[in-house]
C-alpha cells in the first residue's frame, strides 16, 4: 500500500510538473537542415524574424539533413517522430513522399498567396514537383574553374571533357546524376533528347564511354565542400558543385575562380513535413510565413540561391554583408540561364537504382 501511494504521488507530481512545464515553456519546433552557411541563411531570413513575432515559438536547428531520409524512415517505424520540419532536395522529398513518410500539402490552403493575389500554386508553378514538397530555393549544380590555370576562359560544359585545350584534373560528383547528362550533351545528343537516350542501354553505354575519356583525370567528390576546397588548393582546374558554394569561394574568399554556367542543372530544395510530427498546426503557421514572397527574397541576401516564387524575383536585393547585387549571381538570372537542364525527377526516380549500380560498376573498372 505504502509503495502504491508513493508511486501514485510521484506520478501525480511528475504529471503536474509536465503540465506546468508545457504551459510555461515555448513550443519548440525542430527544424532539420543542412548546417553551415545554409542554415545560417534560414536563421536570418526565416527563423529569427518569425521568433521575434511569435514569442511562444522556439526554433531549434538540427543539422541532420544529410541523413534525413534514413532517419525519417527510422522514426516513422518507431512511431516517434521528433522532427517538425525537414529541408530536403526535391528528389529526396519525392522518395519520402512515395514512402509515405512526409505529409501531402494543400499548397493553396497552407501557403500565402503572392502580394498581387496570385495563388501559391501559380506563384511556385512547376517547382511543386511533388504533392509533399514546398519549394524554397532553386540551386544549380554547375562548374567553377581556376582562371589562372587555363589558357582561355571556359565557356562550354564540353570544355570539361576537353583534355587537349584544358589539361589538368577536374572534380565531378560521385554519382551518375548530372554527369551522364553532360556527357551525352557533349557527345552530340540534342539536349531535348537526353533522357530518351539515357533511358536505353545504348545511351548509358554511350554516356559512360564519354566519361571514360576523362576518367583518369577526375577526382570524385561526395560532399559539397570538396570542390571549392580542391579548387582553392589547385588540385583541380575545374569542378562541379552547388553554385552557392562557388559564390562563397569567389566573392567571400576571393579565390581566382570563375563560373561556368553552361548547362547548369537546376534542382530544388524545400520543406517537407514529417508525418507524425507533433506540432503540425504550429508548423503550418510557420510555413505560411517562411515561404511568403518577402521571406524567400530575403534569403537571397545571405546565400546565392534563387527564390522559387516568381513574385520574389524582383525583390532580390543586395548581399547582407558584402553589399553586392545578388541578382547577377542567381542561377536563374537570364545571363546565367541561357542553357539549363531541370533535374528530371521522374526519370531519376525510376532509374536511380539501376544507373547508380551501373555507374559504380563503371567506376570499379
Binding site for another protein (CB under 8 A): 32, 35-36, 62-64, 66-67, 69-71, 73-75, 77-80, 82, 95, 97-100, 104, 174, 219-220, 222-225, 229, 233-235, 346, 349-354, 356-358, 360-365
**Grid cell of 112 as nine digits:** 500565402
- Rounded (10°) angle between helices 201-212 and 345-364: 50
**Grid cell of 179 as nine digits:** 554527369
Q: Report the length, in residues, of the chain.
A: 365
Question: How near is the Cβ of 247 to another protein at its closest, in Å?
Answer: 16
Alpha helices in 179-242 (DSSP H): 179-186, 194-198, 201-212, 226-233
Nearer to another protein, 63 or 325 (CB): 63
Nearer to another protein, 99 or 196 (CB): 99
Nearer to another protein, 94 or 297 (CB): 94
**Grid cell of 104 as nine digits:** 501531402
Nearer to another protein, 169 or 288 (CB): 169
Question: How near is the Cβ of 225 to another protein at its closest, in Å?
Answer: 5
Cα–Cα distance between 127 and 122 in angstroms, integer? 10
Q: For residue 299, give the nearest of 27, 33, 104, 26 by alpha carbon.
A: 33
Kindly state the DSSP code that residue 363 receives in the 8-state scheme: H
Question: How near is the Cβ of 30 to another protein at its closest, in Å?
Answer: 9
Nearer to another protein, 289 or 362 (CB): 362
Question: How near is the Cβ of 61 to another protein at its closest, in Å?
Answer: 9
CB 198 within 8 A of CB 184: yes
Q: For residue 251, give the nearest of 37, 42, 44 by alpha carbon.
A: 37
Nearer to another protein, 21 or 79 (CB): 79
β-strand pairing of 238-242 with 170-173: parallel
Question: How near is the Cβ of 347 to another protein at its closest, in Å?
Answer: 8
Cα–Cα distance between 284 and 292 in angstroms, integer? 12
Question: How near is the Cβ of 187 to another protein at its closest, in Å?
Answer: 18
Cα–Cα distance between 165 and 251 in angstroms, integer? 27
Question: How near is the Cβ of 317 to another protein at its closest, in Å?
Answer: 27
β-strand pairing of 257-272 with 85-89: antiparallel
Nearer to another protein, 17 or 223 (CB): 223
Question: How near is the Cβ of 78 to another protein at its closest, in Å?
Answer: 4
Nearer to another protein, 31 or 327 (CB): 31
Nearer to another protein, 320 or 363 (CB): 363
- Rounded (10°) angle between helices 201-212 and 179-186: 80
Question: How near is the Cβ of 327 to another protein at its closest, in Å?
Answer: 27
CB 134 within 8 A of CB 105: yes
**How does DSSP assign 291-317, residue by residue?**
TSHHHHHHHTTTSS-EESSGGGGGG--
**Grid cell of 275 as nine digits:** 508525418
Amino acid at each position: 500500500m505504502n509503495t502504491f501511494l508513493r508511486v501514485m504521488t510521484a506520478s501525480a507530481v511528475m504529471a503536474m510538473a509536465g503540465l506546468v512545464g508545457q504551459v510555461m515553456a515555448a513550443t519548440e519546433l525542430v527544424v532539420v537542415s543542412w548546417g553551415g552557411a545554409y542554415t545560417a541563411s534560414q536563421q536570418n531570413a526565416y527563423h529569427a524574424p518569425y521568433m521575434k513575432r511569435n514569442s511562444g515559438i522556439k526554433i531549434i536547428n538540427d543539422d541532420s539533413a544529410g541523413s534525413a531520409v534514413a532517419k525519417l524512415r527510422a522514426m516513422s517505424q518507431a512511431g516517434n517522430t521528433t522532427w517538425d520540419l525537414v529541408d530536403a532536395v526535391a528528389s529526396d522529398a519525392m522518395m519520402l513522399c512515395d514512402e509515405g513518410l512526409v505529409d501531402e500539402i494543400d499548397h493553396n490552403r497552407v501557403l500565402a498567396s503572392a502580394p498581387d493575389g496570385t495563388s501559391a500554386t501559380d506563384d511556385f508553378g512547376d517547382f511543386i514537383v511533388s504533392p509533399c514538397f514546398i519549394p524554397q530555393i532553386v540551386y544549380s549544380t554547375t562548374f567553377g574553374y581556376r582562371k589562372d590555370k587555363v589558357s582561355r576562359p571556359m565557356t562550354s560544359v564540353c570544355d570539361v571533357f576537353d583534355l587537349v585545350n584544358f589539361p589538368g584534373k577536374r572534380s565531378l560528383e560521385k554519382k551518375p546524376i548530372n554527369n551522364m547528362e553532360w556527357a551525352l550533351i557533349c557527345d552530340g545528343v540534342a539536349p531535348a533528347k537526353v533522357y530518351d537516350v539515357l533511358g536505353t542501354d545504348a545511351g548509358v553505354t554511350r554516356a559512360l564511354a564519354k566519361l571514360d575519356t576523362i576518367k583518369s583525370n577526375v577526382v570524385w567528390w561526395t560532399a559539397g565542400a570538396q570542390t571549392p576546397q580542391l579548387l582553392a588548393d589547385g588540385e583541380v582546374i575545374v569542378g562541379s558543385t552547388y553554385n552557392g558554394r562557388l559564390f562563397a569561394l569567389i566573392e567571400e574568399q576571393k579565390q581566382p575562380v570563375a563560373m561556368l554556367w553552361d548547362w547548369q542543372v537546376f534542382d530544388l530544395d524545400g520543406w517537407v513535413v514529417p508525418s507524425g510530427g507533433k506540432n503540425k498546426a504550429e508548423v503550418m503557421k510557420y510555413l505560411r510565413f517562411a515561404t511568403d514572397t518577402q521571406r524567400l527574397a530575403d534569403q537571397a541576401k545571405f546565400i546565392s540561391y534563387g527564390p522559387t516564387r516568381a513574385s520574389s524575383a524582383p525583390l532580390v536585393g543586395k548581399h547582407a554583408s558584402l553589399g553586392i547585387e545578388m541578382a547577377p549571381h542567381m542561377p536563374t538570372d537570364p545571363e546565367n540561364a541561357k542553357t539549363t537542364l531541370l533535374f528530371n525527377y521522374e526519370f531519376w526516380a525510376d532509374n536511380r537504382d539501376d544507373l547508380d549500380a551501373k555507374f559504380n560498376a563503371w567506376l570499379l573498372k
